[in-house]
Each structure stands twice: as structure tokens, then as C-alpha cells.
Amino acid sequence: PKRFLHMLPPGPPQQPEAASHGGGSRAFSKKTLTWRLVGEAYSSQLPVDEQRFIFRLAFRMWSEVTPLHFQEDLGARGAAVDIKLGFGRGRHLGCPRVFDGSGQEFAHAWRLGDIHFDDDEHFTAPSSDAGLSLLKVAVHEIGHVLGLPHTYRTGSVMQPNYTPQGPAFELDWSDRKAIQKLYGVCEGSFDTAFDWVRKARGRHGEVTVSFSTYFFRNSWYWLYENRNNRTRYGDPIQILTGWRGVPTHVDAFVHIWTWRRDERYFFKGHQYWRYDSDKDQAHTEDEQGRRYPRPISEGFPGIPSPLDTAFYERRKQLVYFFKASSVFAFDVNRNRVLESYPKKMTEVFPGVEPRNHPLRSIDSAYYSYAHKSLFLLKGSSYWRVVNDRDQPRGPWLPPNGLFPKRSISEKWFDVCDVHTSTLR
Amino acid sequence: ETLFHSRDRSDLEPTPLRRAKPIADLHAAQRFLSKYGWAEGPLRMEAAPRGPSPEGPPQGPSGAALAAAVRRFQKVNALPASGKLDLATLATMNRPRCGVPDTRPLLQAAATSPGTPPAVPGPLPRAR
């Protein structure tokens, strides 16, 4: 019983302002938290592996929208584990709060990281629509342990009463913003970002064009759903899973698209890969018999490597390659660098505001079809490039000028890492 | 291990799922309101009224405090805020729910509800 003496439900919030908007208060100061389903408290209703799988998914769902990482820890001493989960009936696990049997109270969470589930309840796997979804209850209780209070907002996972889980149970916008109020938004640089353009034939044979937005970082990637202002549920995913043959830590992606050509290239180090969008894998050999990966110097003579990034300017049919503070304009039809290049990045993309420029070593030059603009990404910031639609409103704006920098997380929301152990 | 005698453990009695006692009377409702943080102060647990008492009907804060607590609970659950324990209110109290209290300040409500240790004054010690 002593163990729980100091584990009372959340006391007066540490940050009074947190209480004022009822938003709860941050419970942990570190970024990676460990959790464990305690061995003496398995449920008797689901296979243990399924219980752990469901908890792993519940933690992952919070990790996909916060800077927090969660790692299952089966080895450390119990006291060292940040969040411990267990099932019990009636008087359970030394907890002062007795469960009441099936119905009414189904679980509770203690501020310092213990979550108890009443095993008299009928907990079920996400695929079932009977009973209480263990996933939904676990996400709710983890929300408490992280510092979120109850809310009566319809659709929130933090409602005190259980509402049957719809077909696609996910954290909605407001729950995301509530937890980000406590732990901040997700920041961080990307290896590259690009829109993948797909052509398809419509019902009447007309060609339709659609695009998907991707962010790549290290060995994983996200698809970003522009219309929903968030990444795809369940991302990030490992690059090797979704992009067969593409290496990790890519430097750049370029889609060369003219009337006669439709080629997609990934660049890393001194090499580049060509991607076969029909077969959805990297080419080992293309129709001209060229084998991949190839040295960049062979396919793009005059271009140095390794690169910082690159993008393809469709109207001029030029690939702009970025390295350090230089920009190289490569003519894809004459297969060579334009005579007047390389140039300084500050010359090609002058800052609209003094001393507000990435200057060198950008991470990505990303043309967004959703925003119809080119963005230079570096670290957690972006600079949007002046385009034709800006000019009428601001004739003084220099062509290809860079607007002052903004935070990437203000434009593309919830692009969050997860612990690598949950990427598999 | 759970005791059994048959090789196939068929005599393992499935633990009868204990059922939570429905919240169906004033006392249970008071416990609920106090347990989940809806009572601002301790709700005095009144014995069930045994007919008219010599000093007349119970007066004072408990009745009013209880009605106010019920009204607060009814409001957030989009029920008519009558302050009375009507069927709809009792039904809402009986819905499956999380055991963490709904409102602040948690400690007072938690400190008086039965089965919870007295509030620990001051900041919570970090060591688990």
C-alpha cells in the first residue's frame, strides 16, 4: 500500500496556467519513456502477446503526434520503468482504489505512471466490435499518465465514459493539440521532401494526374495528407518497406518529367538510383541497359557529390542541384551544367528580408503542388520562394526571392518520429 | 496457480465476472459524485431518510451541495440540469467509465471518498 501513497490522482497542477484551460500538466520531462505490462498482472482474456501488441500500438499512437518516444522495457528493474500497466480484479496490485467488477469503472491511471485495467471487464482486440476496446481504453489511460485530464468534447479519446470505438479509432486534431500543449510540437530536419506525381487513365481514357507528399528522414518516411493537415495514420514507415531498393538517408529526389521523359531519381552520396514507378521498386537496369546505382558524375556530368539536395524545374527543364552555398543548373536536354553556373545560392534565391536566408547546406528544395510554391527546407525552418502569383501583389519582390523563414511545423503538422523499436 | 483437479482443467471455475453494483440510490450516487470529483466539499453521507424526522426535513448544505453537484454533472453530460437524481442521470452514472476523477480539485474529492488514502500534502515525492 505504501507504494501508492504518493500515487494519488493528479494533485493541483504543477503549472497553474495548465489548470486554467483545463488542459492538464506535463508529467514527464524526458523524451523517451519506457513501459511494461507487468508479469504478475496479465489479463486472462487475451493472449499476452496480443495484450503487449495492443499496448505497443497505443503508445505508438501517442508517439505519432508528440515528440515523445515510447519503448517497451522488459529488462530494467520495475522501479526504473516509467509506465507500468497491469490487469486486476477487485482489490488489485496493492492499489488503494478497488475495482467494482464488470460495468462502471473499467480502468484508472496514476500520475506517476501506473495504469490498471479491471479484468472483470470484457476487453477486446481492435478488430472486435464487442466489449471494450483495450486499445481505446489504453490510449485514454496513457493520455492521463502523460497529464491529460478528462474532457467532454465529443470525439475526444479523453472523454470519461467509454464510447464504442468506430471503424478507425485515431487521435483527432483537438486531442493532438491538447497533448502538444504539454509536450510541444514535433520538429526536426528532413533528408528530403517531395511530391510524387502519378499519372492514371480516367474512365473515359483521359489522363489524370495526382500527387502524394512524402517526407523522408533517416530510414523512415511519412506520407503527408495535405487535405487533412496531418501525416497518414500509422506513419512513419521504414523506407525499405515502402520504397524497395531505395537507400536510407537519401540526399535528394528528382522527377524529370517532359513530353518524352518520365524519370525519377534518388540521390545519396556519390550515387543515384532510378525508381520504377510501375513496378514500385528501384531499377537495377533501365531500358537503355544502364545499371543502377550509378555514379552521379556519369549521369549528371559537372555535378559534384555528395549533394545537399535538388529539384526539377519543369518549365525550364532544368535540375537545380544544391551543394554548400552553390547552386548548379543542369540542362536535362543538353545533359550539361548551364554555362553561367554554378552560382551562389544567395544570388539565385536572394533573401526578401536582410539576414534572413539559409545561406548554405539546405536539406531539401521542395516544390509543393498543394501550395504551388517552392520551399527551401533547412533544420526545422523553411523559406518559401517568391512565385508568379506573388509578383502582382509585390512588384518589388525579387524573382525567386526568399520570404522570411517560418517553422516547418507551422505548415506541415504532426510529422513525428517514433521509437525505432516500433518501426518494425 | 488457480486450483484445478481435472487433467483438462475443465473444473477450472471461470471466475464469475463480478458485476459492479448499479448506482441506483442516493447513497451510491453520492459516492459516485464524490469519487469522481463532482462534489466540491465532502458530501456528508446521509443515512437513508427514515420518515419525517422530529426536526423536520434535512436542511442546509448537504441537500443543496448535493443538488449542485448533480447539476454540474448533468450539465457536462448534456442532461436537463434539474439537480435531481432522475433515471437519465443515474443511467449516465452507470455507464462504463475511467476511474480518474473528472474535475479539479482532485485531492479534496479523493481525500474523502472511501478507500482512498488521505491526501498527501505538498509536492509528490519523485521516488516511486
Chain-chain contact of B19 with A102 (C-beta, under 8 angstroms): yes
Cell numbers for A12: 493541483
* HSE-CB of A249 using CA atoms within 13 angstroms: 5
Q: Which of A338, A198, A321, A200 is nearest to A253 (CA)?
A: A321
Taking one residue from A and the other from B, the number of pairs with CB-CB distance under 8 angstroms is: 129
Cell numbers for A119: 479484468
Give the residue from B1, B116, B128 with the most A CB atoms within 10 Å of its CB, the best one to mutate. Answer: B128
The closest CB to that of A104, out of B96, B117, B120, belongs to: B96
Chain-chain contact of A107 with B106 (C-beta, under 8 angstroms): no
Cell numbers for A306: 555528395
pLDDT at residue B110 is higher than 50: no
Specify the higher pLDDT residue, B1 or A92.
Answer: A92
Residue A85: exposure state from Cβ atoms within 10 A (0-12, 13-18, ≥19): buried
Q: For residue A338, give the amino acid letter.
A: L
Nearest-Cα residue of chain A relative to residue B1: A40
pLDDT in the model for residue A253 = 98
**A153 vs A65: CA distance, rounded Å:** 19
Check: CB of residue A305 under 8 Å from CB of residue A269: yes
DSSP secondary structure letters along A306-320: S-SEEEEETTTTEEE
Of chain A residues 15-54, which have a CB less than 8 A from chain B? 19, 22, 44
**A224 vs A104: CA distance, rounded Å:** 39
pLDDT in the model for residue A320 = 98
Three-class DSSP category at A105: strand
Q: Quote the distance between the C-alpha of residue A95 and its chain's center.
A: 37
**A355 vs A23: CA distance, rounded Å:** 38
Nearest-Cα residue of chain A relative to residue B100: A108
Check: CB of residue A329 under 8 Å from CB of residue A365: no
Q: Which of A62, A118, A110 is nearest to A82 (CA)?
A: A110
pLDDT in the model for residue A164 = 85
Length of chain B: 128
**A125 vs A51: CA distance, rounded Å:** 8
Q: Are strands A192-201 and A207-217 parallel, antiparallel or unpaired?
A: antiparallel
pLDDT tens per residue, range A154-185: 999 999 999 987 778 999 999 999 999 999 99
pLDDT at residue B117 is higher than 70: no
pLDDT in the model for residue A188 = 95
With a CB cutoff of 8 Å and minimum separation 6, the contacts of B56 are none
Chain-chain contact of A96 with B104 (C-beta, under 8 angstroms): no
pLDDT in the model for residue B41 = 57
Check: CB of residue A100 under 8 Å from CB of residue A23: no
How close B88 gets to chain A, by Cα (Å)? 15
**A87 vs A363: CA distance, rounded Å:** 47
Check: CB of residue B83 under 8 Å from CB of residue B63: no
**B61 vs A274: CA distance, rounded Å:** 78
A98 touches chain B (CB under 8 A): yes
Q: Which of A242, A243, A241, A223 is nearest to A233 (CA)?
A: A223
pLDDT tens per residue, range B22-59: 999 999 999 999 999 998 655 544 333 333 333 333 33
**A65 vs A73: CA distance, rounded Å:** 21
The closest CB to that of B18, out of A13, A106, A120, belongs to: A120
The closest CB to that of B98, out of A7, A100, A108, belongs to: A108
Query: Is residue B4 very low, low, confident or very high in pLDDT (cuts 50, 70, 90)?
Result: low
**A302 vs A297: CA distance, rounded Å:** 7
Query: Is residue B6 very low, low, confident or very high in pLDDT (cuts 50, 70, 90)?
Result: low
pLDDT in the model for residue B15 = 56
**A263 vs A299: CA distance, rounded Å:** 12
Give residue ranges of B with CB < 8 Å to any A CB: 15, 17-23, 36, 76-77, 92, 94-107, 110, 115-117, 119-120, 123-125, 128
Q: What is the mean pLDDT of each run of 10 residues along chain A (424 residues)?
A: 43 34 78 95 93 97 97 90 95 91 94 90 88 95 94 94 85 96 97 93 86 97 96 95 96 95 96 93 89 96 97 96 98 97 97 96 98 98 95 88 97 96 85
With a CB cutoff of 8 Å and minimum separation 6, the contacts of A24 are A10, A13, A18, A147, A148, A149, A178, A182
User: So which residues of A are the catalytic ones?
Assistant: 141
The closest CB to that of A152, out of B15, B76, B98, belongs to: B76
**ipTM rounded to 2 decimals:** 0.79
How close A103 gets to chain B, by Cα (Å)? 5
What is the average pLDDT value for chain B, to the nearest integer? 68
How close B51 gets to chain A, by Cα (Å)? 31
pLDDT in the model for residue A339 = 96
Q: Which of A189, A196, A190, A191 is nearest to A312 (CA)?
A: A196
Q: For residue A405, give the amino acid letter.
A: K
pLDDT in the model for residue B63 = 81
Check: CB of residue A130 under 8 Å from CB of residue A124: yes
How close A89 gets to chain B, by Cα (Å)? 9
Nearest-Cα residue of chain B relative to residue A151: B102
In sequence order, what E strands does A112-167 have? 114-118, 123-124, 132-133
